Amino acid sequence: MSSPAPARRVLSGMRPTGRLHLGNYHGALRNWVELQYQYECYFFIADWHMLTTGYEDTSLLQEHTREVLIDWLAAGLNPGVATLFIQSHVPEHAELHLLLSMITPLGWLERVPSYKDQQEQLKDKDLGTYGFLGYPLLQSADILVYRAAYVPVGEDQVAHVELTRETARRFNHLYGREADFEAKAEAAVKSLGGRNATNYRALRRKFQEGGDTEALQRAQALVQSNNRITVADRERLLGFLHGAGVTILPEPAVLLTATPKVPGLDGRKMSKSYGNTIGLREEPDEVVKKLRAMKTDPARVRRNDPGDPDKCPVWDLHKIYSDEATRKWVVEGCRSAAIGCLDCKQRVIDKVVEEIGGMRKRAQEFEDNPELVQRIVAEGAEKAREAARDTLDEVRRAMHLRP
Ligand code: TRP
Ligand code: SF4
């Protein structure tokens, strides 16, 4: 029977786009670094995802994968705590993707907003492929193969997690049934023992009749924390809360990343495709040069023209990097023209150079020692595969691909 779904597992992935920039750092990576100390985290390089749009030229895949890995380590992802790996090293993702593809209506994939959007945006590429249509389902397999509880992503990925939830629901509905489920579930409730059984029944009723999700969570906690029941009964009790059957693939929740706006040098969002980035491990001299040339409030043509921080992208950087006192100094000095833009920028420059300096230092060890990086992802893949294999054992059995 099934093993308990890990309650606090986190999974996220990133495409190997090559060297990361401060937008990637403040938009995702910094958050992952914190999460790794609070949850059991799995982070992977989505190299197969890269192929869904970049299949024509794959020549840079190795280099870009290595660069992103080193950036991760430089940013503070800790392979002693989090599991770091490369998607294509864990073939279980592909097997689950194939199995899920059997039960996924085409309409679900065609309706994913990024499908049409990306085809519009990347007009120079032929994205009329099977792989591109299926890529949100590959993402679902990425998540479900670890039975992750949480997926830290930005707003743009929420629809993909929603598809994952629907897919899990459908899978559980189709394959999570036992012939005599109700009777077995009732017996499992009894085995919880007097007061716990009564509590479980009351909470289940509250959830089923009133949709009380707090009651659901309390019931789940009650089941999870009971270590006298068998693993199989625990799964039944969790499934019975929804009235369905055994939950083989739990539905993940989005952990929406609170992301500050990271402006690029031209004031637009920092993005590789705009060529307006500051690299995570950029040369300090280059950082200084770039930031000194960064766009400011256009109203400040001359030194004594007052400005408005709200119209200046440098101000968005102060919001990330500066303390209260400095921010007050900026607002007052900008509006009264008491400070010049270069004075203002210097405060940000100091912080960015310091931050990047730390990353450059951490990266050096890995740059000097390529085998170290190899070893980290080899171990990561081993650990990831262990978890993924457990899920697939159950999935295969539930689908009667195994006795
Ligand atoms: N699609 C994500 C992106 O483009 C990357 C990704 C792939 C991912 N699989 C995932 C993110 C699973 C979270 C979970 O950014
Ligand atoms: Fe922007 Fe600072 Fe110049 Fe004001 S003083 S326009 S906030 S750079």
pLDDT, tens digit, for every residue of 350-402? Answer: 999 999 999 999 999 999 999 999 999 999 999 999 999 999 999 999 999 99
Q: In what order do the strands lie in the sheet with 83-86?
A: 83-86, 40-45, 9-14, 150-153, 253-256
Q: Single out the residue of 263, 257, 370 nearest to residue 314, CA to CA.
A: 263
Distance 332 CA to ligand 2 centre (A): 10
Q: Which atom of ligand 1 is nearest to the CA of 154?
A: 15
Predicted local distance difference test score (pLDDT) of residue 2: 44
Distances (CA, A) of 27 to 38, 66, 121, 259, 261: 19, 20, 22, 5, 8
3-state helix, strand, coil in the chain (%, to 5): 60, 5, 35
* pLDDT classification of 1: cutoffs 50, 70, 90: very low
Sign of CA dihedral 11, 15, 20, 25: negative
Amino acid at position 225, single letter: S
Ligand 1: distance of its center to the CA of 139 in Å? 6
The model's pLDDT over 143-188, given as tens digits with 9 standing for 90+, comes to: 999 999 999 998 889 999 999 999 999 999 899 877 788 888 999 9
What pLDDT was estimated at residue 127?
85
Ligand nearest to the CA of 42: 1
> 337 C-alpha vs ligand 2 centroid, how far in Å?
9
242-to-64, 211, 247 alpha-carbon distances in Å: 44, 10, 9
Nearest-CA residue for ligand 1 atom 13 is: 12
What domains sit in the chain, N to C, each tagged with a CATH number? 9-177+370-398 (3.40.50.620), 181-240 (no CATH), 282-366 (1.10.240.10)
The pTM for the full model equals 0.85
pLDDT per residue as tens digits for the range 147-156: 999 999 988 8
DSSP string for residues in 203-265: HHHHHHHH--HHHHHHHHHHHHT--SS-HHHHHHHHHHHHTS---SSPPPEEEE------B-T
Report the candidate in 95, 76, 90 with the shortest Cα–Cα distance to residue 36. 76
Going by CA atoms, what residue is nearest to atom 3 of ligand 1? 14
Q: How confident is the model at residue 211 (pLDDT cuts 50, 70, 90)?
A: confident
Q: Is the pLDDT of residue 230 over 90?
A: no
Going by the DSSP 8-state scheme, the letter that residue 81 receives in this structure is T
Question: Treating both helix axes as pointing N-terminal to C-terminal, what angle do 341-367 and 324-336 enclose, rounded to 10 degrees?
Answer: 140
Residue 294 to residue 314: CA distance in whole angstroms: 7
Q: Count other C-beta atoms under 10 Å from residue 198's C-beta.
A: 12
Ligand 2: distance of its center to the CA of 352 in Å? Answer: 17
Question: Which residue, by CA, sits nearest to atom 4 of ligand 2?
Answer: 334
DSSP 269: B
- 188: alpha, beta or left? (left if phi > 0; alpha if psi -120 to 50): alpha
Task: Render the burial of 102-132: b for 16+ CB within 10 Å, e for the rest.
Answer: eebeeebbeebeebeebbeeeeeeebeeeeb
- Considering every ligand atom shown, identify the ligand nearest to the alpha carbon of residue 297 and give its number: 2
Question: Which residues face 21 on adjacent strands?
Answer: 279
Taking CA atoms only, the protein residue closest to ligand 2 atom 6 is 297
pLDDT in tens, 238-272: 889 887 678 899 999 999 877 888 999 999 999 99
For ligand 1, is residue 153 a contact (CB within 6 Å)?
Answer: yes
Please answer whether residues 91 and 103 qualify as being in contact, where contact means their C-beta atoms are separated by less than 8 angstroms. Answer: no
Measured from the CB, is residue 313 less than 6 Å from ligand 2?
no
CB 244 within 8 A of CB 255: no
* Atom of ligand 1 at shortest range from CA of 136: 1
| Ligand 2 and 300: CB distance under 6 A | yes
Q: Please tell me the total number of residues recorded for the chain in this structure.
A: 403
Name the band, by pLDDT with cuts 50, 70 and 90, for residue 3: very low
Q: Give 319's pLDDT tier (boundaries 50, 70, 90).
A: very high
Ligand 2 within 6 A of CB of 35 = no
- Cα 92 from chain centroid (whole Å): 19
Q: How far apart are CA 147 and CA 394, in angstroms?
A: 12
pLDDT surpassing 80 at residue 6: no
140 alpha carbon, closest ligand: 1
- Interval between CA 27 and ligand 2 midpoint (Å): 23
**Cβ–ligand 2 contact at 297 (below 6 Å):** yes
Q: How far is the CA of 14 from the centre of ligand 1 (A)?
A: 6
DSSP state of 28: I
| Tens digit of each residue's pLDDT (9 = 90 or more) over 37-84 | 999 999 999 999 999 999 989 999 999 999 999 999 999 999 999 999
Dist. CA 69–CA 77, nearest whole Å: 9
227 confidence band (pLDDT: 50, 70, 90):
confident
Q: Using a 6 Å cutoff on CB, does residue 294 contact ligand 1? A: no
